[in-house]
Amino acid sequence: MVSEQLLSAIEGAKVLMVGAGGIGCELLKTLALSGFQDIHIIDIDTIEISNLNRQFLFRQSHVGQSKAKASTFTCIFLVARDAVLRFRPNISITPYHANIKESRFNVDFFKEFDVVLNGLDNLDARRHVNRLCLAAHVPLVESGTTGFLGQVTVHLKGETECYECHPKPAPKTYPVCTITSTPSKFVHCIVWAKELLFEKLFGNKNQENDLNVSSSDASNSSEHSEDVFECRIDEEIEQYGRRIYDHVFGLNIEVALSNKETWKNRNKPRPIYSKDVLSEKLTKQNGNTEKVSATDDVSAMSSLALKNPQVVWSLAENSRVFLESLRLFFLKRGKEIGNLTFDKDDQLAVEFVTAAANIRASSFGIPLHSLFEAKGIAGNIVHAVASTNAIIAGLIVIEAIKVLKRDNNNYRMTYCLEHPSRKLLLMPVEPYEPNQSCYVCSETSLSLEVNTHRSKLRDVVEKIVNARLGMNFPLLMLGATILYEVGEDLEEDMVAVYAANLEKALSELPSPVISGTVLTVEDLQQELKCCINIKHREEFDEKEHDGMLLSRWVEPPADKDGNKPIGNGESPSSVLPTEEILEGEKDVEIQETSEPTEMLQGRKENRPMFRKESVPIMLKKKGRSETDDVDLSDCTLMALTMSWQISAKVGVNCDIFLVGTVLSVFQSFGHNFGYGC
């Protein structure tokens, strides 16, 4: 049983949850069922239909509402009706439908809480919360999931590394020339269809891209003197669709083939024209306008009687979907054309992008994909697994309880794996010490190589201070001179002065920023301050496209064997795949990684692994014999990995085990090894 002292700490704790999505829904339920009575939730998102398959607190009636408010309503009146209010009648849940970066959520606001629990889906917001927790001296439990993978980490100022102690990998990007000219992967075709073709047809028609090419022998004809993407007067929509089809999949490919150097060591694509794939009787073959009423969900698949989104369409079927979806956009959603952007929850948009990407893939000899697969790539979706969210939510609560107990010796960073490693699906790792070269929590200076004669202050502010350092309200100083400041209470004349400074080269500022000077950069909201040592550099190579190079001023110290530090120099990201794990159902940049189990097997054997044979050793380290009761923290991690075994032994419902009664079940785990609790 839980001690009265711990129960009192749980009931009296004031908890801040940031994010009410896939992890947040599970976390809110787990907190409520675990005895927490004062929970505050911040979330800026509204509920979309695609959320309903895994964010169980939401229903169809909640679509369009605030997640923070809807989850509160549902938790109290649906789940709590049968569970929480029966045992916890005084629970208080305070929602904020807002951006965590708003000025009201400052350091003083964070100081009100005993622990902060993150269920966010983007790096920028995570960094912001990390800094506020450091400034407020409030423990942070960070988390994330991607499919079957997940992680929970604990961050306490001065005791463990902070969230930013190690750099996070940059999102995967692709060269424009690859996308437009030489695609070799299906994702290249998706990016082309989504970012170029969809935008050109239905979004900003004035954007310039390589879709507007014309052949050399037709460049002077009247056909190519106008914008090919403009629908001509008295041109039927079916004819317009075929003309677009022939231009982007036929003419564009022929023009690309004219550059013979490009294809010396590559497989040549083949031009595809509509007449080669479809008959001329387009209207009869390609859908019926009367079938789609104004009140129906507009869908090319429905119009063409294509029912299974997991079936890979043939080239002819993709061509029909392409032309039909384009036709439906103009006939049923004409008022939106010119202002549309791709949305993964827009069925017609997904159908169009899938068909366009598959036709282009067929031209370049790339395997075709189903609509289900294409939607995942186009929306940057790593499909969420509800069970992973539930497990991670349980682990968050476990670490939160340890924080309330001040059980510093038993904090764990835990990684949820897709495949067992050392027979474990949950890999516990002792928290790392703060990285002494971290500019966020260790106040280490940074170094910036920049051409001080060419680069403007605006470049430094936008590309370094905002983008790289993640500051929202920056203040830049050189000595006692303020070069730039952002704030709501600035006088107009000062705003004008700072705006003028932005357009000046660094060496031309009132207080010149030249090689050897030190810029002081501060964010008053985050209470973060760091120094940047300036070093002038004349030229930069092509990879350093920003014309600036930011680095750590002090390198992490090596151990006596010359290796990287184990305690604070190695990122937990080396334990898992190289991408930062985010909440699964959110937009996640596509990364190419190796299996986590392979990297885990390469780790040094200096982390505690909870096996049956390790329990006596673990107890002996704590000064107890094998006959003593097993401590709650001893059993926590292994209990989850063997939940199905334990539920069978003690007769506990597995769902309740995972998300509700974690404390009592963890005690039951001790009996699995023959120890009394």
Residues at the binding site for ATP are 19-24, 43, 51-54, 67, 121-126
Question: In angstroms, what is the C-alpha Rg of the chain?
Answer: 29
Binding-site sequence positions: 19-24, 43, 51-54, 67, 121-126, 162, 165, 438, 441
Two structure tokens written together for 92 = 């208080």
- Structure-token match 């908890």, residue found: 15
Residue 16 CA to residue 43 CA, distance in Å, equals 11
Report yes or no: 329 and 379 within 8 Å, Cβ to Cβ.
no
| Bind-site residues for Zn(2+) | 162, 165, 438, 441
List, in order, residues 6 or more apart from 280 with CB less than 8 Å away. Answer: none
Per the CB < 8 A criterion, the answer to whether 244 and 326 are in contact is yes
Helices 347-363 and 371-378 meet at what angle, rounded to 10? 100
- Please work out, in degrees rounded to the nearest 5, the angle formed at the alpha carbon of residue 382 by the alpha carbons of 653 and 368: 125
Catalytic, out of 25, 75, 133, 177: 177
Residues 6+ apart with CB under 8 A from 305: none
Phi/psi for 352 (5° steps) reads: -60, -50
Tokens of 115: 């622990």
**C-alpha to C-alpha distance for 538 and 454, rounded to whole angstroms:** 9
Q: Which two tokens stand for residue 88?
A: 């916890």
Contacts of 593 (CB under 8 A, 6+ apart): 577, 578, 579
Which residues are paired to 381 by β-bridges? Answer: 587
> What are the residues whose beta carbons fall under 8 Å from the beta carbon of 450, sequence distance 6 or more?
459, 460, 506, 534, 535, 536, 537, 547, 548, 549
451 φψ region: left (φ > 0), alpha (ψ -120 to 50), beta (else): beta
| Closest-CA residue to 394 (of 659, 2, 145) | 659
Sign of the Cα pseudo-torsion (106, 109, 111, 115, in order): negative
Question: d(Cα 474, Cα 468) in Å, to the nearest integer?
Answer: 12
Angle at 310 between CA 307 and CA 314, to 5 degrees: 80
Check if the beta carbon of residue 615 is closer than 8 Å to that of residue 673: yes
Count of beta carbons in the 10 Å neighbourhood of residue 545: 8
Q: Is 177 a catalytic residue?
A: yes
The residue type of 640 is: L
CA distance 141 to 130: 10
Distances (CA, A) of 173 to 83, 252, 361: 47, 23, 19
Percentages of the chain per state (helix, strand, coil), in multiples of 5: 40, 15, 45
Give the pair of three-digit tokens for residue 631. Answer: 């401590």
Give the neighbor-by-neighbor strand order of the sheet with 38-42: 92-96, 38-42, 14-18, 115-118, 140-146, 149-155, 413-421, 424-429
Q: Which residues are catalytic?
A: 177
